Amino acid sequence: MILRRLLSRVATTLVTLFGVAVIVFAVIRIVPGDPVAMMLPPGATEADIARLQAFYGLDKSIPEQFFIWLGGVVQGDFGTSITTRQPVLGLVLSRLPATLELSVMALVIAVALGGLVALTGTRLRYTRTEGALDVANGMALSVPDFLWGLVLILLFGVLWPVFTISGRVSPQLVPEFATSFFLFESVVRLRFDLWLDLVQHMLMPALALAIPLAAIIGQLLKQSLKETMHLDYVTLARTKGYSENQVILREALRNAVLPTLTLIGVQFTFLIGGTVIIERLFSYEGLGNMAIDAVINRDLPLIQGIVLLFALLFTLVNLAVDLLYAVLNPRLRHA
Amino acid sequence: MLDGRSLVKRTAGLRLWLSAGWLTALVIGAVLAPWIAPQDPLMQDLFTSRLPPFWMDGAEPGYWLGTDSLGRDVLSRILYGGRVALIVALIAGTATALIGATLGLIAGYFRGWADLVISRLVDIWMAFPPVLFAILLIAVMGTGLTSVVIAIIVIDWTRFARVVRAEAMAQGAMDYVASAQVSGRGRMSTLLTEILPNVLSTITVLLTLEMGIAVIVEAILSFVNLSVSTDDPTWGGMIAEGRLSIHQAWWVLVFPLIALFLTVLSFSQLGEGLKDRFDPVLH
């Protein structure tokens, strides 16, 4: 059962990825102007243009071009960046760790904050505190990460400047590490000064990304928790003499958490999507910032690569969530 | 007894009125901008550069919310920027709703291959980060109001399609639709006279929320300088300039940010309020 589900899910994922490739290719192809003309210096001869066109396969039909391009992408050839003249794949992969670390940090903050809101709201249910939390939660929910980022810059960058609001790491501390997972590697290498500096840079952008997600988690988890609190087994736990806190944390939480987990999975992709503008806002050197630079420089192969990488990331996260859900949900597990 | 829910409910009406009030004020301000703006929003004057807002020392009369580093009046630019924001909200929001809802209705009511194609397209769209997708489209189409509107339609039609499809599917399974068909109505006429009126409230709620999203997307695009031409004042453009001079002139960032914040919050509160009004269970 699980295997069949897995196979059909992988199949739809492949269809989605193919569709993504078609769209990205189509969008880039409708760009006005000849892509070759943009690569050549002014004054290039007709023969130069024809040679370059043949080199990139641009003299072939559109479907042929698509499959040549797709064949390259599948083998890891994402083309060459126009501005830096370097392979796109290498450029993109060098920035990916920064974005992943930021996203995971934001996710951790969102889960912690949202969980706290939900637990507090459940513990103090039907009080004014719950009502106030609900109103605040509603606001956090309806204002997107971009605006929270600006608010945080004002609060903690200007009004009370305790956090760094620009960059990923202090220039004098830029490490010579084996990977670009600085946050992770600094722990492994016991460079805690560097780790602290990274966290200090990352905290504000991560918080901006986390606030809307935390609100969603808080809302749904509290709702599930409150529903669970009326169930018989929870009443039973109460009659056994458990305190209210123990009932919530040990009994109710375990059963209420599944819908929230699924939701977190879907929302995590939105969070990753938000890094594009948040990285720009905080001058954080990740993929999103690189994407906007690429757009400004009209470096289409680079944008293409970044969009494809993001799409791959999104589909993989969605796939992982679906499979995780199948494993965690007892009804599906034993079906 | 005063419990938590009543606090939320009691303030719901108030929040709805505040939201409607802010949006009304914004519409009036934007429409009347040429007559009520105290200064020319584009006029640069280095003698009036970085004037503080009216309550601070060194403020000049006529520049209520101060000036930016080029001496342009912040209040006037916010009023004119509101025009761009509202135009985008109105045009992009409505067009997105029309296209997305139509596709959702077709997929949810007619099912079959149309549903298959539309649902697959929605899946593919979900794999794109919306902001990056919008930026990519602008990069390809070039900047300008039309590009911004098209980009918003292209990235956001799925919002409507998904919800309206599910709703149309649920309505299509109901008895009243079956009875309409038994009585000899055509499929198309059933869709327009039976299903559509019943999903219209959902579309209205989504449209209100979408307007807020459109305002944000426009602000993000103008923040990275990819919206309308750089001459026209936009909130996102003002925020980008304010971000650079934040330590010298915080007001250049703060006032457009407040305008944007209130507008986005108002659209979303209005949408949520409408949702509660339309929901027969909650009502």
Report whether pLDDT(A214) > 60: yes
| Mutation site, A20, A34, A147, interface B, largest B CB count within 10 A | A147
Report whether pLDDT(B133) > 50: yes
Q: Is B17 part of a structural domain of the chain? A: no
Distance of CA B265 to the CA centre of its chain: 10
Q: Is B121 part of a structural domain of the chain? A: yes
Residue A205 and residue A281 in contact, taking contact as beta carbons nearer than 8 Å: yes
pLDDT value of residue B221: 93
Report whether pLDDT(A319) > 90: no
Q: Do B246 and A20 lie within an 8 Å CB cutoff? A: no
Residues of B with Cβ-Cβ distance to A130 under 8 angstroms = 3-4
CATH number of the domain encompassing residue A180: 1.10.3720.10
Q: Is B199 part of a structural domain of the chain? A: yes
CA A218/CA A215 separation, integer angstroms: 5
Which residue in A30, A124, A273 is closest to B129 by CB distance?
A: A273
Domain of A209?
99-285
Least confident of A172-186, A272-286, B199-213: A172-186
Percent of chain B past pLDDT 70, that is, above it, reads 95
Q: Do B264 and A143 lie within an 8 Å CB cutoff? A: yes
Q: Compute the mean pLDDT over every residue in chain A, rounded to the nearest whole number.
A: 85
Write the DSSP symbol of residue A171. G
Q: Do A19 and B225 lie within an 8 Å CB cutoff? A: no
Q: Is A295 part of a structural domain of the chain? A: no
Least confident of A46-50, A92-96, A182-186, A231-235: A46-50
Name the residue among B174, B171, B160 with its Cα closest to residue B118.
B160
Q: Do A277 and B2 lie within an 8 Å CB cutoff? A: no
| B114 band by pLDDT with thresholds 50, 70 and 90 | very high
Write the DSSP symbol of residue A41. P
Q: Is B202 part of a structural domain of the chain? A: yes
pLDDT tens digits for range A149-197? 999 999 988 888 888 888 888 888 888 887 888 888 888 888 888 888 8
Q: Is B1 part of a structural domain of the chain? A: no
Number of structural domains in chain B: 1
Q: Is B8 part of a structural domain of the chain? A: no
Backbone angles phi, psi at A179, to 5 degrees: -120, 175
pLDDT value of residue A50: 78
User: Looking up tokens 């009080």, which residue turns up?
Assistant: A127
Which residue in A20, A127, A151 is closest to B4 by CB distance?
A: A127
Least CA distance to B270: which residue of chain A?
A142
CA B142/CA B127 separation, integer angstroms: 24
| A28 band by pLDDT with thresholds 50, 70 and 90 | confident
Q: Is B2 part of a structural domain of the chain? A: no
Residue A313 and residue A275 in contact, taking contact as beta carbons nearer than 8 Å: no
pLDDT value of residue B282: 53
pLDDT value of residue B58: 80
Report whether pLDDT(A313) > 80: yes
Which residue in A144, A154, A269 is closest to B254 by CB distance?
A: A154
Mean pLDDT of B5-31: 84
Percent of chain B past pLDDT 90, that is, above it, reads 51
CA A318/CA A311 separation, integer angstroms: 11
Q: Is A156 part of a structural domain of the chain? A: yes
| Alpha-carbon distance values, B20 to A89, A98, A176, B36, B265 (Å) | 49, 41, 55, 21, 11
Distance from CA of A38 to the nearest CA of B (A): 13
pLDDT value of residue A118: 93
CA B210/CA B228 separation, integer angstroms: 20
- What is the radius of gyration, based on Cα positions, of chain A? 24
CATH number of the domain encompassing residue B126: 1.10.3720.10
Q: Do A146 and B219 lie within an 8 Å CB cutoff? A: yes
Residue B128 and residue A310 in contact, taking contact as beta carbons nearer than 8 Å: yes
pLDDT tens digits for range A129-159? 888 888 888 888 889 999 999 999 999 888 8
- What is the radius of gyration, based on Cα positions, of chain B? 22
pLDDT tens digits for range B59-77? 788 888 888 888 889 999 9
Domain of B236?
28-282
Give A185: exposed, middle or buried? Use CB within 10 Å, 0-12, 13-18, 19+.
middle
Report whether pLDDT(B53) > 70: yes
| Alpha-carbon distance values, A76 to A66, A73, A300, A309 (Å) | 15, 5, 17, 11
Name the residue among A272, A260, A306 with its Cα closest to residue A88.
A306
Q: How many CB atoms lie within 10 A of CB B34?
A: 12
Task: Name beta bridge partners: A80.
Answer: A87
CA B89/CA B267 separation, integer angstroms: 10
Report whether pLDDT(A34) > 90: no
In angstroms, the first-to-last Cα distance of chain A is 7
Name the residue among B244, B183, B187 with its Cα closest to residue A165.
B244
Report whether pLDDT(A115) > 80: yes
Report the half-sphere exposure of B2 (CA within 13 A, side-chain side): 8
Number of structural domains in chain A: 1
Mean pLDDT of B215-243: 89
pLDDT value of residue A110: 96
Six-digit token string for B234? 């936009």
Four-CA torsion B254, A137, B18, B163, nearest 10 degrees: 110
pLDDT value of residue B13: 81
pLDDT value of residue B283: 47
CA A164/CA A57 separation, integer angstroms: 47
pLDDT value of residue B56: 83
Length of chain B: 283
In angstroms, the first-to-last Cα distance of chain B is 20
CA A210/CA A201 separation, integer angstroms: 15
pLDDT tens digits for range B27-37? 999 999 899 88
Higher pLDDT, A35 or A82: A82
Residues of B with Cβ-Cβ distance to A141 under 8 angstroms = 268
Distance of CA A300 to the CA centre of its chain: 22
Q: Is B129 part of a structural domain of the chain? A: yes
Q: Is A180 part of a structural domain of the chain? A: yes
Hey, is the C-beta of B158 within 8 angstroms of any chain A C-beta? no
pLDDT value of residue A105: 96
